[in-house]
A = this chain, B = another copy of it.
């Protein structure tokens, strides 16, 4: 059985080769069968039109290559006795991954009706891309997967995320040459600069060059091989090539490459773990060059198909109606010699199963791909340790994210042994005021460290790379394999990962409905350096639309929080870090911000998600409010409270209610979101008929979109960001967007019936203040003292 048993130096004996090839043929047969057949799965009868699906869907082109990789991963898992996970970048090759899971038995364990016999094979075939069946792509429904390959670009960052803090895990990652052209994939090659060979596992990228995308050659497949090698070495890898179209030769080459890669990885890890001098190792990468649609029809209707873009999806398209196509399909399927691969009952033969590992070592059965099974609760400390003291509202200021940093430091410290918590961000951890975490963990970095560097650490669990895509991909991979984390990002630039969060939300939505998938830790965003405090960086850095984007998605998954101060941020973050299967978007400021609520009050307020701040208003308990000032977000809350103060001073008789909203989904109808208020709750808070002046952090129409069904909606007037951005002062940002205290007071005067006449002087004073502001900033370049030195006072007006 050993390499040296063969006189020609090839790694596989004839027997091993035969077994691997049988497994590969079986997987190819099952892949094609899923695309084409709805009956007669073993071809015991001649192929008739009724055996063929009426609608042929699926991607054949990539499947034989994926099957080859799976077969050979089986071999090394068994041979080397390792735990492995595979990320299938070309996830549209769903039939291949399903075929392998069925072969190894993991599929039937999760879906017993798709049994490992002829009936089950028929079900496997029929359900594929069939209404009520399974998706054509690798998806949450697919055992062993943490990665949907429909949208391309994220396989390698997912693989690295899975490998982090899993020292004994090998994460193979098949990267299609199509996906390799995407930006996120291209960026993620540099993840090796952050992978710790001591505490992290290994990632083995397998670049599969089958030469074509949907209709074009691929960049990587068509460049000279010497140039490709330079590129891969430039990424820090040592390439191993496997090229060919003769199956036996490719099996030998693939086995040799896999063995070499494994030996290389083991050597790197042993060196590092035995305390060899630090230095980033050069990890292996396998370049697998085989024909697209390999072993499929060479030619159809006189044009070449195998080895071309024409085999991308369904190589034979008219199988039901065209007898020649059907005969060609039958010959194709028979070419795998199914009678040798499956017994009479449809069960795979012992030879086919020889390479398959046991139990959880099977790629379709590894717990790492069902991370919720491995998840442990985070050791979250009592918030009292970090809460800021608040004797009365608005008397002190703190940097909310700075306070959060202390909580994160504690979590980082208490997971020092467990290593199941990571903080990711695009070079902004300190800029976002979370630098306290460095007391508990440095920043991951494998390249040389200079004297001028700070907090770099080969074993660090803070991860910073100037690629939001890579940050998100790492974190997704980490969460999906059963760990915890948080992504801190400038608010405007989190739009870079809009499409990634779409896919993650879709994954979670689908997973939640699968009984066998255990809940995973939520994906937590801290969005800071937000629109209102990007006055210095200007228009390009001002965009609050991520909340809108996320709130379009599955309500069972998405949560949006806008804590108005430090203690509410602590409470919200604590909740988010404990939650499961959600995407939590937390928007909070990093600049000094008034402390409004004590920790106890903050907890109660966050538990409600929205509530009246009686101390800030003037309805005095029994009086009905004449107007509601609502707010969500730290800067809008400040302006609203300043407006409430101005109203108390200038219009002491007016009964004003102040409502603060932390959880934006509370505004939605309760039929549409699990956090949504009933109409009774909503009306009790906002009234049914009083004017509501709502100062909102982002685009104002979002509030209308959430609240349009409420009785009081016609009286709802929302102020927010309306793209009036530039480089200016903080207060000018709110003035430009009509969110400032003076404008809010004017809104009240304009909307409370009868007030306009009574308060004409007050309104003029407010307008004058805005004019004064404009003159002041043009002269001084800073905001006028009356807004910067302003402090909240809850001195009650004379009753």
Which of A79-87, A133-141, A475-483, A637-645 is the interface stretch?
Answer: A133-141
Does A182 interact with chain B (Cβ within 8 Å)?
A: yes
By beta carbon, the residue of chain B nearest A230 is B234
By beta carbon, the residue of chain B nearest A466 is B181
User: A38: which B residues are within 8 A, CB to CB?
Assistant: 781
Nearest-CB distance from A679 to chain B (Å)? 14
Assess the B214–A139 pair: CB atoms within 8 A: no
Q: Quick one: given A129-B536, A233-B230, A235-B231, are A217 and B445 in contact (CB under 8 Å)?
A: yes
Nearest-CB distance from A228 to chain B (Å)? 7
Cα–Cα distance between A38 and B554 once the two chains are bound (Å): 52
Cα–Cα distance between A184 and B704 once the two chains are bound (Å): 35
Assess the A466–B182 pair: CB atoms within 8 A: yes
Q: Quick one: given A132-B778, A502-B495, A782-B54, are A428 and B214 in contact (CB under 8 Å)?
A: yes
Contact among B217, B453, B723 for A553, CB-based, below 8 A: B723
Contact among B54, B92, B187, B708 for A183, CB-based, below 8 A: B187
Assess the A540–B495 pair: CB atoms within 8 A: no
Per-position 1/0 for A108-137, Cβ under 8 A of B: 000000000000000000000111111111
Cα–Cα distance between A304 and B503 once the two chains are bound (Å): 44
Cα–Cα distance between A378 and B188 once the two chains are bound (Å): 40
**A 135-156 contacts with B by CB, 8 A:** 135-137, 139, 148, 150-153
Assess the B183–A549 pair: CB atoms within 8 A: no
**A 209-227 contacts with B by CB, 8 A:** 213-219, 222-223, 227
Per-position 1/0 for A429-460, Cβ under 8 A of B: 11100000000000101011010111010000
Does A317 interact with chain B (Cβ within 8 Å)?
A: no
Does A342 interact with chain B (Cβ within 8 Å)?
A: no
Q: Quick one: given A53-B781, A498-B495, A538-B139, are A134 and B727 in contact (CB under 8 Å)?
A: yes
Cα–Cα distance between A726 and B506 once the two chains are bound (Å): 10
Cα–Cα distance between A512 and B193 once the two chains are bound (Å): 43
Chain A interfacial residues counted at CB < 8 A: 121
Assess the A136–B537 pair: CB atoms within 8 A: yes
**A 170-224 contacts with B by CB, 8 A:** 178-179, 181-190, 193, 213-219, 222-223
User: A701: which B residues are within 8 A, CB to CB?
Assistant: 552, 705, 708
User: A304: which B residues are within 8 A, CB to CB?
Assistant: 452
Nearest-CB distance from A103 to chain B (Å)? 22
By beta carbon, the residue of chain B nearest A725 is B506
User: A371: which B residues are within 8 A, CB to CB?
Assistant: none
Contact among B230, B539, B728 for A506, CB-based, below 8 A: B539
Assess the B431–A215 pair: CB atoms within 8 A: yes
Nearest-CB distance from A186 to chain B (Å)? 4
Assess the B186–A183 pair: CB atoms within 8 A: yes
Nearest-CB distance from A467 to chain B (Å)? 5
Does A427 interact with chain B (Cβ within 8 Å)?
A: yes
**A 491-514 contacts with B by CB, 8 A:** 492-493, 495-496, 498-499, 502-503, 506, 509-510
Per-position 1/0 for A701-713, Cβ under 8 A of B: 1101100100001
Contact among B92, B129, B153, B536 for A57, CB-based, below 8 A: B536
Q: Quick one: given A227-B234, A307-B452, A427-B213, are A713 and B723 in contact (CB under 8 Å)?
A: no
Does A470 interact with chain B (Cβ within 8 Å)?
A: yes
User: A708: which B residues are within 8 A, CB to CB?
Assistant: 701, 704-705, 708, 713
User: A185: which B residues are within 8 A, CB to CB?
Assistant: 183, 187
Cα–Cα distance between A690 and B452 once the two chains are bound (Å): 71
Does A236 interact with chain B (Cβ within 8 Å)?
A: yes
Nearest-CB distance from A76 to chain B (Å)? 28
Assess the B470–A136 pair: CB atoms within 8 A: no
Contact among B466, B469, B782 for A213, CB-based, below 8 A: B466
User: A428: which B residues are within 8 A, CB to CB?
Assistant: 214
Assess the B431–A214 pair: CB atoms within 8 A: yes
**A 226-256 contacts with B by CB, 8 A:** 227-236
Q: List 25 A-B contacts (CB under 8 A).
A: A57-B536, A92-B537, A132-B728, A132-B778, A135-B727, A136-B536, A136-B727, A137-B538, A148-B540, A150-B538, A153-B183, A181-B470, A182-B183, A183-B184, A216-B427, A216-B453, A228-B234, A230-B231, A231-B233, A234-B235, A309-B452, A493-B499, A498-B499, A553-B723, A705-B708
Other CB < 8 Å A-B pairs besides A136-B536, A553-B723, 6 of them?
A53-B781, A150-B540, A182-B468, A506-B539, A506-B725, A554-B723
Closest 7 CB pairs of A and B: A231-B234, A150-B540, A183-B183, A186-B186, A183-B187, A230-B234, A495-B499
